[in-house]
């Protein structure tokens, strides 16, 4: 690691980071007025460079994997860290898909005329400089770099120490693509040290040069970022997603959606963690649904009322209603219709994604109106809570805050806007 080779003292790190901020701000100003073709060329160049240099990337990744093995990091961690030919190709595919997206910058979002003849347009602009702080997955460097560039933003990448060699190798390819398209290399920078002081500097905004921080990783990383950041943050801390089965639900559909919401992938933020069932249909529906979950390998933790109907269930404790398992475990509770469901979800939800399975339109409308989560689904799996599934092409994460970006953060969410007002000599009367 660079840290070992060139010991950087705290003072040096602050200087290095301040300089990275300045370079990013200057690059962002240049990038903001670049057309779509040039950005597309840079993105395609990035994908080509990654493909051409895949052996070097795999060698760098092997170094990280060796160190991870030595440090006895978990199997799940090693899986997130590992790169192979297939994952490298997927990374390139992702970048190419982003290249093909329409350019959000310059898009007129709204326009109107005033009685005095002024014509007002609200137009998308880049946000400026985005700091991305991530952990083990090296592909985040490629996804985040490509999305930020497409939206006209400079990005400062700070990967985890365990993926340092891999992300540095990928970053070199990204810069190659950027430079080939005659864009400033400062558009995509990487923090050259794994010292945590550098993260602290980023969270303080590098002298006002960083416009937003996006953390990608586990709960402790996101919590640290949310607590310490002095600049806006797009983040989700947890995806504590609920599925509610109304008495009007179609049983077969409910069963399929619950199993898919929980078990398709248990480790993603859109996976369901709590199942709420209308007590009016509990006797009729619960056994089949819980058997299907169990058959799919899911552990069931139920309230007493659930255990009375399905004795195989383990006991759910209070803490189960607030736990994001990210595993093949589900907490199950009976509720008193749509009111009970809304109350439970409003109390425990992390405001990420919730689904209602129902045929009763009134219940659906109340669920949609009264629950304040980023994504609400009717008769569909919570696993659709994803930017790609929304047709946004790619996402840098799901934001659970209510400011600026909410839900999947794709290229559009990485932009701001400004007003352009055209007149012909208007002055404002007193």
User: Contact between 100 and a copy of itself (CB under 8 A)?
Assistant: no
Cβ of residue 100: shortest distance to a copy of itself, in angstroms?
A: 16
Taking contact as CB under 8 A, which single stretch among the options 4-12, 57-65, 192-200, 256-264 is the one that binds a copy of itself?
A: 256-264
The count of chain residues that interact with a copy of itself, using the rule CB under 8 A, is 61
- Rounded Cα distance between 250 and 247, Å, is 9
User: Contact between 248 and a copy of itself (CB under 8 A)?
Assistant: no
* Candidate residues 161, 224, 232, 299; the one interacting with a copy of itself per rule CB under 8 A: 232
Q: Residue 2 is encoded by which pair of tokens?
A: 């660079």
Is residue 120 within 8 Å of 114, Cβ to Cβ? Answer: yes
Cβ of residue 396: shortest distance to a copy of itself, in angstroms?
A: 16
Q: Residue 269 is encoded by which pair of tokens?
A: 């933020």
Cβ of residue 368: shortest distance to a copy of itself, in angstroms?
A: 5
- Nearest-CA neighbor of 299 among 277, 316, 322? 316
User: Contact between 426 and a copy of itself (CB under 8 A)?
Assistant: yes
User: Contact between 402 and a copy of itself (CB under 8 A)?
Assistant: yes
User: Contact between 96 and a copy of itself (CB under 8 A)?
Assistant: no
With a CB cutoff of 8 Å and minimum separation 6, the contacts of 241 are 261, 269, 270, 271, 272, 273, 274, 349, 350, 352, 353, 354, 355, 382, 385
Cβ of residue 127: shortest distance to a copy of itself, in angstroms?
A: 6
- In sign, the C-alpha dihedral spanning 303, 305, 308, 309 is negative
Distances (CA, A) of 130 to 18, 153, 187, 391: 14, 7, 10, 23
Q: Interhelix angle for 85-100 vs 139-150, to 10°?
A: 10
- Nearest-CA neighbor of 133 among 217, 62, 74, 21? 217
Q: Quick check: helix, strand or coil at residue 386?
A: coil
Q: Which is nearer to a copy of itself, 312 or 369 (CB)?
A: 369
* Candidate residues 47, 81, 376, 396; the one interacting with a copy of itself per rule CB under 8 A: 376
- Rounded Cα distance between 94 and 242, Å, is 29
Q: Residue 173 is encoded by which pair of tokens?
A: 């390819």
User: Contact between 250 and a copy of itself (CB under 8 A)?
Assistant: yes
Q: Residue 244 is encoded by which pair of tokens?
A: 């509610």
Q: Which is nearer to a copy of itself, 62 or 106 (CB)?
A: 106
Q: Which is nearer to a copy of itself, 6 or 219 (CB)?
A: 219
Cβ of residue 330: shortest distance to a copy of itself, in angstroms?
A: 16
Q: Residues 193-212: x/- map of binding to a copy of itself (CB under 8 A)?
A: ------------------xx
Q: Residues 334-363: x/- map of binding to a copy of itself (CB under 8 A)?
A: ------------x-----------------
Cβ of residue 4: shortest distance to a copy of itself, in angstroms?
A: 36
User: Contact between 37 and a copy of itself (CB under 8 A)?
Assistant: no
With a CB cutoff of 8 Å and minimum separation 6, the contacts of 77 are 68, 136, 162
User: Contact between 118 and a copy of itself (CB under 8 A)?
Assistant: yes
Is residue 44 within 8 Å of 235, Cβ to Cβ? Answer: no
Residues 403-422 that bind a copy of itself (CB under 8 A): 403-404, 406-407, 416-422
Q: Which is nearer to a copy of itself, 31 or 173 (CB)?
A: 31
User: Contact between 381 and a copy of itself (CB under 8 A)?
Assistant: yes
* Candidate residues 6, 7, 15, 33; the one interacting with a copy of itself per rule CB under 8 A: 33
For residue 278, list its beta bridge partners: 335
User: Contact between 260 and a copy of itself (CB under 8 A)?
Assistant: yes
Residues at the site binding a copy of itself, with contacts judged by CB under 8 A: 29, 32-33, 106, 112, 114, 118, 120, 125, 127-128, 211-212, 232, 250, 253, 256-257, 259-261, 264, 346, 364, 368-370, 372-381, 383-384, 389-391, 402-404, 406-407, 416-428, 430
């Amino acid at each position: 690691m660079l840290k070992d080779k060139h010991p950087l003292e705290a003072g040096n790190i602050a200087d290095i980071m301040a300089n990275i901020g300045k370079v990013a701000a200057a690059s962002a100003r240049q990038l903001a007025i670049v057309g779509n073709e040039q950005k597309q060329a840079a993105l395609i160049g990035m994908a080509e460079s990654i493909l051409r240099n895949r052996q070097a990337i795999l060698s760098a990744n092997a170094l990280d994997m060796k160190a991870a093995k030595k440090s006895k990091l978990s199997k799940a961690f090693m899986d997130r860290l590992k790169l192979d030919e297939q994952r490298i190709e997927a990374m390139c595919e992702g970048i190419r898909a982003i290249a093909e997206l329409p350019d959000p910058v310059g898009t007129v979002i709204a326009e109107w005329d005033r009685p005095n003849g002024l014509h007002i347009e609200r137009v998308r602009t880049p946000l400026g400089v985005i700091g991305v702080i991530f952990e083990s997955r090296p592909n985040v460097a490629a996804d985040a770099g490509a999305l930020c560039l497409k939206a006209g933003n400079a990005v400062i990448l700070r990967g985890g120490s365990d993926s340092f060699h891999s992300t540095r190798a990928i970053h070199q390819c990204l810069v190659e693509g950027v430079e080939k398209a005659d864009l400033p290399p400062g558009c995509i920078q990487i923090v050259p040290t794994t010292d945590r002081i550098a993260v602290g500097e980023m969270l303080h905004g590098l002298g006002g040069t960083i416009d937003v921080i996006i953390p990608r990783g586990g709960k402790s990383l996101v919590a640290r970022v949310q607590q310490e950041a002095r600049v806006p943050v797009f983040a989700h801390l947890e995806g504590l997603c609920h599925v509610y089965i109304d008495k009007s639900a179609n049983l077969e559909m409910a069963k399929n959606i619950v199993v898919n919401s929980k078990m398709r992938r248990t480790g993603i933020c859109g996976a369901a963690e709590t199942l709420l069932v209308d007590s009016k249909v509990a006797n009729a529906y619960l056994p089949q649904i819980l058997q299907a979950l169990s058959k799919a390998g899911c552990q069931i933790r139920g309230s007493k009322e659930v255990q009375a109907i399905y004795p195989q269930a383990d006991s759910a404790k209070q803490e189960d209603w607030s736990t994001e398992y990210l595993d093949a475990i589900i907490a199950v509770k009976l509720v008193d219709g749509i009111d009970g469901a809304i109350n439970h979800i409003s109390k425990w939800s992390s405001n990420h994604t919730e689904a209602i399975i129902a045929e009763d339109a009134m219940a659906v409308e109340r669920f949609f109106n009264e629950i304040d989560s980023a994504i609400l689904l009717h008769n569909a799996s919570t696993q659709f809570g994803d930017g790609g599934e929304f047709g946004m092409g790619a996402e840098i994460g799901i934001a659970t805050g209510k400011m600026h970006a909410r839900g999947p953060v794709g290229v559009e969410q990485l932009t701001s806007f400004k007003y352009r007002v055209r007149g012909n000599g208007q002055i404002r009367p007193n």
